[in-house]
Amino acid sequence: MNKQLPIKLSPAFKDYLWGGDRLKTDFGKQSDLTPLAESWELSAHRDGESTVATGPLAGLALTSYLKQVGTSALGTAAARFDYFPILIKLIDAKGDLSVQVHPDDAYALANEGEYGKTEMWYILDCEPGACLYYGFARDVSRAEYENAIKENRLTEILNRVPVKRGDVFFIPAGTVHAIGAGIVICEIQQNSNTTYRVYDYGRRDKNGNTRPLHVEKALAVSALTAAPAHTDTPNGPDVLLADCPYFTVRRLRVTDTLTLTCTDDTFYSLIVTDGHGTLTMHGETLDLSKGDSIFIPAQNGSATLDGTCELIFTHI
């Protein structure tokens, strides 16, 4: 049996202007960037790779690590992708993010040279009254959409949703969306960094420049139908949050001991969103704390979680 040990990863960091400091204060991230907007916890993207933090290959970028251990670490299901398939982030939105949309695979490959971006959000925390935009409040025409952009009233026709801790939003490519101020999120997405910014509240960056908009591309890819109704996330120790062709995501709540069954058809990601614990596999134990990112190579076997913690568990 192929025995590969789980590893901890260190993230790549991003200092977008809307970020805050909660990734440092609440999740233990160590970075000189201010503000600290995003930590790319599981990333093999050219715009920011995570690195191995434990084991004999510590210090290697994720893509270099995978070259060392071999493609079997990704699992047989990864053969349907010609790239590392997912990217997982923690996001601290101290301010509003721009209203934006992501293309699907066909459009992105034809116009951007990478795949599209379907994603999901898990709300880790939020300030009282925090809201986000998720699709349109009703069906709209392209002309209505375009006019709302030109007249700076796009948010009037969007679906504004109050949020609370534990909420989940699945956002297929083509869904117009924006994270609102005061929200901390774990985002699981396709491995893509293509974003079309539609509206940015007229704000300026640190150099006094407005950020570019991508209106024509956004008009070409946006879904113009009303957003589905938002539903509450069920309680329980093991809850399915999302299941799509790109990723499957579960929330695990450990109060004592939980056994994970692993197979050789997929790798696994664990993001510790709260609490402390340990992960034991092949006789080796990793300590887990809030903010940790763990990569488990594909293999047939089991791993044991002990402690009191919440985790986001992702595979393909």
Active site residues: 197
| Residue 146, Cβ density class (10 Å: 0-12 exposed, 13-18 middle, ≥19 buried) | middle
Count how many Cα atoms sit within 13 Å of the Cα of residue 119 in the half-sphere of its side chain.
30
Q: Are 170 and 202 in contact (CB under 8 A)?
A: no
| Residue 53, Cβ density class (10 Å: 0-12 exposed, 13-18 middle, ≥19 buried) | middle
CA dist 246 and 148 (Å) reads: 32
Residues in the chain: 316
CA dist 192 and 93 (Å) reads: 20
Q: Please state, in angstroms and as integers, the Cα–Cα distance from residue 260 to each residue in 9, 213, 226, following that order.
A: 19, 44, 38
Q: Kindly report the backbone phi and psi dihedral angles of residue 94, in degrees, each rounded to the nearest multiple of 5, phi listed first.
A: -70, -35
Contacts of 126 (CB under 8 A, 6+ apart): 163, 164, 165, 182, 183, 184
Count how many Cα atoms sit within 13 Å of the Cα of residue 290 in the half-sphere of its side chain.
13
**Apex CA 121: angle with CA 112 and CA 271, to 5°?**
100
**Apex CA 180: angle with CA 174 and CA 182, to 5°?**
145
